[in-house]
Copies of this chain bind each other. A is one copy, B any other.
Amino acid sequence: MENQFKQIATLIGDPTRATIMWTLLEGKAFTATELAIAVTTSPQNISMHLTKLVQANLLVVESQGRHKYYRFARKEIAYAIEAMISLVPPSISTQSTKTEKISGIKHCRTCYDHLAGKVGVALTDSLLQQQLLLDTSGGFEISPEGEKWFTEFGIPLTVLKQQKRSFLRPCLDWSERRPHMAGSVATALLDKMLLENWLRKTKDSRALTVTAKGKKEFQSRLGITI
């Protein structure tokens, strides 16, 4: 197992392949040529690297006509890459400049079963600012006003509390580097937003798109401008 780990580490560790993984974090599938452009290398070279990554079961390919679409073999791969990204030195310039273009997955995505990305963090921030959510030393807590808000939103808190699984906890966002809500409350919130058609899942990706209705609702209910 030690050798297998070494193999995977060296596989991810090559600069070109690392950039491939970084690019694929986007969530969607990329063609070989798209990756070659994103990584700025030759088609032959990207082909070699992709072959290696597929052989190691880190990526999977899907042929469509003359194109080949590459993506992570399973979501654990993405989580491992995210874990590595979270090691990037907590530097001064971490707070990304406002001008930086935000790709789909960094904007709005699922993290296991709850909402993450810029929107997930913004949602949590909004609830905190309205004091519907309180940031205590032990994590997040829902205030009495918050309980009312969640109930009105259609989240049955009492039912969720009875569940044995995690109710509410902070989860660190790799792209925003800020905490956001996780736990059964966050899952229920995401489910409700999908059900109410605020958000829509994308095929083959953990990215979520905010619908027109969602934009309106985020604005009016939470003061969040998408």
- Chain B residues with Cβ below 8 Å from A63 are none
Decide if B96 touches A86 in the complex (CB within 8 Å): no
Interface contact A18-B4, CB-CB below 8 Å: no
User: What CA separation (Å) do A145 and B192 show in the bound complex?
Assistant: 35
Interface pair A80/B88, CB less than 8 Å apart: no
Min Cβ gap A20→B in Å is: 11
Q: What residue in chain B is nearest A84 (Cβ atoms)?
A: B80
Given A80-B83, A164-B138, A166-B169, also A22-B5 (CB < 8 A)? yes
Please determine whether B6 and A10 come into contact, CB atoms closer than 8 angstroms.
Answer: no
Q: How big is the A interface, by class?
A: 35 or more
Q: With A and B bound together, what is the CA distance between A84 and B56 in angstroms?
A: 13
User: Is A36 in contact with chain B by the CB < 8 A criterion?
Assistant: no
Report whether B14 and A12 are in contact in the complex, using a CB–CB cutoff of 8 Å: no
Whether a CB of chain B sits under 8 angstroms from the CB of A79 is yes
Question: B8 to A88, Cβ gap below 8 A?
Answer: yes
A19 within 8 A of B: yes
Given contacts A10-B13, A14-B10, contact A85 B167 (CB under 8 A): no
